[in-house]
Structure 1
């Protein structure tokens, strides 16, 4: 004969296997078709089956049903610890904390007191709002085995689940006072950190580092999680300064000082700490080079430059100097680019310094792995800033002969650019065609094909240029393909289908051909000639002409090349107001934003232009760049 408990278990198991709830009204039963039941074995379900079902019900949020099953199981097997623990979990889920207390006390009666059970009793009592009893339970847990470090860990873990971190830190400190190193400094420091007691946490972490410097990555990782807490940076700085004063030769402390300063954007402080490391530890510049890379990545090129200069001054013959010289040249180069240095404006000291550093690197390190890349960068600088096409071509020829295939192909593409800048379009065409044929796929091949389309355009072969541009209009994620779309739009809008090129047709005065000559002169850096050509074009160009917006955009670009940003912005404003349907509106907004951020030092207006671009053209290929720039500008404006 089945007992009520056994009957309830069998019914619950049957209900679960059929996919129905354990109770339905007669009316509901009449409406819901009941699947054919499986044969029922003439035996009560085993305990493991019932336990698995209860665990499943509990995991699915059916707490009352799980609790009932577990209570029945406990009645059948009062000593089953797994059932006791799962039932305690069910009571907690149901917020039946007094029942949890009773359950833990029942275990204590059966199993005898232990630190683990007494700590669990304390947690249950605390949840039941019986705090005084909870305090006594936690104290009893500690007193039961005060010479075992695991006792304190058990109690601290229970207090941690209650988020009583102050109490947890006090208990663990009590254990450390009694047992010493059986409870590690980093262990206690972690709990003090959770309790927001940053001075004690940092002091303990430093104590741990003094005994084992290899712990620094672990310590730094934990401090990183704490550093955003209120008062944490100040507490860290004070503790680090005190430790450095006590032991100036402590490398771990100096490294942590540098890390904290970098986290806070205090680059001068960070550099002082790294400088001390370099001198005290005889790093021969290695720490300074690492710091320079970190500072540059964090947007602090001035601090990076100071660190690299120190390496070059103090360790000119050490291995770190090679990396420092290349990195310093890159910083000068980037500064030159940021200053919008062009041939019309003349090289400035930053460009001269970059050129000298690149040249020194190539002369000093003839077999360096960075030599091909250095030659490529120097060639780019010589071409753009100095208009030294012979020097640029010589460096590119060297890079193209190197073993690095990526750099070699890039150098070959840039050789075509140099020929184009010289005005030698036949050589440029051949070089771009060679890259296209040899590379075939990827951004370099796409760029080479776009350049071939442009040369057709510059030379007046408009229909060939259009065919090449249309062939590129497949991958709109590629920059060359996006530029090809703009070229295709220009050609489609401006080509006159009734005027076909031929030996008897003079197209020299056709607006599209004049525009092409202006574009080529701009590309070659002949800004005065480009403006003169645009003036002659605009004199005969009606406002409604298909090239009116292209002419304005090109004029703004030329003015920027000449160092006239305010005039360029005004021309772009005219484009935006006079040509509301232009394909170039998103490009005009981006160019304005870049100009306001760079040459005009007006980040607020730059942000407004990017915002306008995203609002009006959310699907533009320029939108990702605009979003990234807008985030950067807003962060800058918020910080100021």
Structure 2
């Protein structure tokens, strides 16, 4: 790639040379668009999205474009946690007016950027999310409930159901979306997936399964169908039908979607390791029930269920998984010391289990993001790279290790 050929990251001095020369070229050849386009590319590579925005906006105005390069930059900025620049990008596109192709998407993304900011913290910002839900409602009143605002309606319902304990209201909104005339089939399927998740959250698992089954029939060899099949497999798991869940997961492990495939692999490994080799079914059934309670954010009930499991079957093969869940619950409750103890116990006592790298990565994130103990975080990221090089977390660990240490060499285990 151009980035690799210019060695922008391996030889930082090259980046300054490229920046200066491109700025000169922009001044010397004002009629040529290739140089401002390269500046946008350069600043994006350097993750200086604010500077990239200035040049991307100038190009959009100059070429009388419809905002697509600003939407792309907004998406990249948001993915890299530069939410301020993302808001500028989406705000600029939305300012073009309702008659432009990306208007509704930009209006929705402006609100979604705030959602991501509010849910990054643990626990999520309840007051901020309440205000955001109200702003979603105001935007929908302004724009109207119609196919173009279906995703906006869906996102508001998500906040109501999963963060504000207003599930009934959310279900009504989702059911009304599906009644909108002229609703795009793919958008309708995405809304059914959301409604199904809300049904599971509200303990209406069979209603959810019915919705997911409809999507599987309508989108058989499509990522939407794969997503629905995974959700149905998860319902089978929650309700104790592990054999059927495993059958569905085996198909999904070959899915073209990396995220779905990874989720399917994780759940399949959990079932294989703790159900297929066990002649006593009840521990796994109790664990799956606790997992559902976690999904429904009924944390206290979940912990009681897990504690009962460990008391009745001490030393069960599920112990590492139980410790992981208890660590995740402690994180949600901002009980960081407890979370560290649970994850560390997995690392120390279950270092050869499939959860060990996960526990190590969670510890690294706590020290990195919550405690700001960067020296400890680096130590943990490095341990992942050298002791669990095949981990799904290795790529992210390597990326963050380099950011913290300034090591631009190809660190290899």
TM over 0.5, yes or no? yes
Shift of 1:635: 2.5
C-alpha RMSD over aligned residues: 4.4
Q: Quick one: structure 1 residues 526 and 324, their matched pair in 2 at CA, closer, same or farther if it must change by over 3 Å?
A: same
Paired residues for 1:533-552 under 5 Å = 533-543=305-315, 545-552=316-323
Q: Distance in 2 between matches of 1:611 and 1:295?
A: 27
Aligned twin of 2:130 = 352
Is the partner of 2:354 in helix, strand or coil?
Answer: coil
Shift of 1:474: 4.5
Paired residues for 1:623-634 under 5 Å = 623=393, 626-634=394-402
Aligned twin of 1:217 = 33
Give the count of matched residue pairs.
Answer: 379
Aligned twin of 1:330 = 112
- Which structure has the higher relative contact order (CA within 8 Å, separation 6+)? 2
Aligned twin of 1:151 = none
Q: Are residue 521 (structure 1) and residue 304 (structure 2) matched?
A: no
Paired residues for 1:125-524 under 5 Å = 202=24, 206=27, 209=30, 215-220=31-36, 265=48, 267=50, 293=74, 296=78, 299-305=81-87, 325-342=107-124, 347-349=126-128, 351-366=129-144, 370-400=148-178, 403-470=183-250, 472-475=252-255, 477=258, 478-492=261-275, 495-496=278-279, 510-524=282-296
- 1:541-570 deviations in whole A, cap 9, x for unaligned? 323x21211211121122223233342232
Q: Does the Cα contact within 8 Å between 1:393 and 1:415 map onto a contact in 2?
A: yes
Q: Quick one: structure 1 residues 637 and 393, their matched pair in 2 at CA, closer, same or farther if it must change by over 3 Å?
A: farther
Is the partner of 1:339 in helix, strand or coil?
Answer: coil
Deviating more after overlay: 404-413 vs 318-327: 318-327
Aligned twin of 2:7 = none
Q: Distance in 1 between matches of 2:197 and 2:269?
A: 20
Q: Quick one: structure 1 residues 607 and 432, their matched pair in 2 at CA, closer, same or farther if it must change by over 3 Å?
A: farther
Q: Are residue 586 (structure 1) and residue 357 (structure 2) matched?
A: yes
Q: Does the Cα contact within 8 Å between 2:274 and 2:317 map onto a contact in 1?
A: no
Q: Distance in 1 between matches of 2:49 and 2:274?
A: 53
Unaligned runs of 5+ in 2: 1-16, 408-413
Shift of 1:519: 1.5
Q: Distance in 2 between matches of 1:436 and 1:323?
A: 26
- 1:467-522 deviations in whole A, cap 9, x for unaligned? 444554555951342133233224436631xx6xxxxxxx8xx3333222212211
Larger radius of gyration: 1
Shift of 1:411: 1.8
- 1:440-482 deviations in whole A, cap 9, x for unaligned? 2344333433333333333334444444445545559513421
Q: Are residue 573 (structure 1) and residue 344 (structure 2) matched?
A: yes
Shift of 1:525: 0.8
Q: Quick one: structure 1 residues 271 and 220, their matched pair in 2 at CA, closer, same or farther if it must change by over 3 Å?
A: closer
Unaligned runs of 5+ in 1: 1-194, 210-214, 228-258, 500-506
- 1:367-403 deviations in whole A, cap 9, x for unaligned? 7775222223223222221132223223433454563
Shift of 1:595: 3.8
Is the partner of 1:348 in helix, strand or coil?
Answer: helix
Q: Distance in 2 between matches of 1:443 and 1:318?
A: 30
Shift of 1:574: 0.3
Q: Does the Cα contact within 8 Å between 1:593 and 1:609 map onto a contact in 2?
A: yes
Q: Does the Cα contact within 8 Å between 2:385 and 2:398 map onto a contact in 1?
A: no
Is the partner of 1:525 in helix, strand or coil?
Answer: coil
Q: Does the Cα contact within 8 Å between 2:130 and 2:164 map onto a contact in 1?
A: no
Q: Does the Cα contact within 8 Å between 2:330 and 2:338 map onto a contact in 1?
A: yes
Q: Does the Cα contact within 8 Å between 2:40 and 2:55 map onto a contact in 1?
A: no
User: How high is the TM-score relative to the length of structure 1?
Assistant: 0.50
Is the partner of 1:551 in helix, strand or coil?
Answer: helix
Q: Does the Cα contact within 8 Å between 1:292 and 1:308 map onto a contact in 2?
A: no
Q: Distance in 2 between matches of 1:266 and 1:492?
A: 48
User: How high is the TM-score relative to the length of structure 2?
Assistant: 0.73
Q: Does the Cα contact within 8 Å between 2:87 and 2:113 map onto a contact in 1?
A: yes
